[in-house]
Chains A and B, each alone.
Chain A
Amino acid sequence: MDKKLAVYICTGCGIGDTLNIEALGNVATKEYKAPICKTSEALCSPEGAALIKQDVESGEANTLVICACSPRVMTDVFDFQDCIVERTNIREQVVWCLDPNEELDDPKEDIQMMAEDYLKMSIKKTQRRWICRNRIHRKKKSPTGHPGRWAAVSPV
Chain B
Amino acid sequence: MANSVTQSILVVGGGMAGMSAALEAAEAGYDVILVEKNPYLGGRVAQLNKYFPKLCPPYCGLEINFRRMKQNPKLRFFTMAEVVKVSGQEGDFDVNIRINPRYVNEKCTACGECAKACTVEIDDPFNYGLNKTKAAYLPHDLAYPYRYVIDPALVKSGDAQKVKDACPYGAIELDMAAQDVNLKVGAIIWATGWDPYDVSKLDLYGGGSYANVITNVQMERLASGNGPTEGKILRPSDQQAPQNVAFIQCAGSRDENHLRLLQRHLLPGVPEASPLTCANNTRTARSDHLLHRHPGHGRAWRTSTPWSRSRRGRRVRERQEWPASRKTAGEQEPGAGGARTRPPARSCRRPRSTWRSWPRACSPPPAKPPCPLPWLLTTTALWPATPACPEWSAPAASEHPWV
Residues of B within 8 A of A73 (CB): 109-110, 146
Q: Is B111 an interface residue (CB 8 A)?
A: yes
How distant is the Cα of A83 from the Cα of B274 in the complex, in angstroms?
Answer: 53
**A136 near B169 (CB under 8 angstroms)?**
no
When distances are taken between beta carbons in the complex, the residues of chain B under 8 Å from A151 are 27-29
> Of all chain A residues, which has the CB nearest B71?
A136
Among A44, A136, A150, the residue within 8 A (CB) of B109 is A44
- B27 touching A12, Cβ below 8 Å: no
Chain A residues with CB under 8 A of B109: 12-13, 42, 44, 69, 73-74
B108 CB to closest chain A CB, in angstroms? 9
Q: Which residue of B lies closest to A76 (CB)?
A: B70
Interface string of A18-59 (1 = CB under 8 A from B): 000000000000000000000000101100000000000000
Interface size class of B (residues with CB under 8 A): 20 to 34
CA distance A68 to B111 in the complex (A): 12
Find chain B residues with CB under 8 A from A69 CB.
109
Residue of B nearest to A75 (CB): B70
> Does B146 lie within 8 Å of A14, measured CB to CB?
no
| Contact A42–B74 (Cβ < 8 Å) | no
Decide yes or no whether B161 CB sits under 8 A from chain A: no
Within the assembled complex, what's the spacing in Å between the Cα atoms of A75 and B144?
Answer: 11
Q: Taking the complex as formed, is A149 at the interface, i.e. its CB lies under 8 A from any CB of chain B?
A: yes
User: Is B206 an interface position by the 8 A CB rule?
Assistant: no
Does more than half of chain B's interface fall in helix, strand or loop, or is it mixed?
loop
Nearest-CB distance from B49 to chain A (Å)?
Answer: 21
B27, A45: Cβ atoms under 8 Å? Answer: no
B289 to chain A, nearest CB (A): 25
> Could you tell me the distance in whole angstroms from the C-beta of B271 to the nearest C-beta in chain A?
39
A52 CB to closest chain B CB (Å) equals 16
Asked if A152 lies at the interface with its beta carbon under 8 angstroms from chain B, I say yes
Closest to A14 in B: B111
If A42-B169, A45-B169, A76-B70 touch, does A152 touch B26 (CB 8 Å cutoff)? Answer: yes
Closest residue on chain B to residue A79 by CB atoms: B70
A72 at the B interface (CB under 8 A): yes
A123-146: CB near B (< 8 Å → 1, else 0) gives 000000000000110000000000
Assess whether A135 is in contact with B71, with CB atoms less than 8 Å apart: yes
Residue in A44, A73, A75, A150 with the greatest tally of chain B CB atoms within 10 Å: A73
CB of B242 within 8 Å of the partner chain: no
| Nearest CB in chain A to that of B168: its residue | A12
Residues from chain B with a CB closer than 8 A to the CB of A14 are 111
- CB proximity of B31 to chain A, nearest CB, Å: 10
- Is residue B24 within 8 Å, beta carbon to beta carbon, of the partner chain? yes
Asked if B107 is an interface residue, CB under 8 A from chain A, the answer is yes
**9 residue pairs, one from A and one from B, having the closest CB atoms:** A152-B29, A149-B27, A13-B111, A73-B146, A75-B70, A136-B71, A13-B109, A152-B28, A152-B27
Binding site for A on B (CB under 8 A): 24, 26-30, 63, 66, 70-74, 107, 109-111, 144, 146, 168-169
- 15 additional A-B pairs beyond A74-B109, A152-B27, beta carbons within 8 Å, are A12-B109, A12-B111, A13-B110, A44-B107, A45-B169, A69-B109, A72-B66, A73-B109, A76-B70, A136-B71, A136-B73, A152-B26, A152-B30, A152-B74, A153-B27
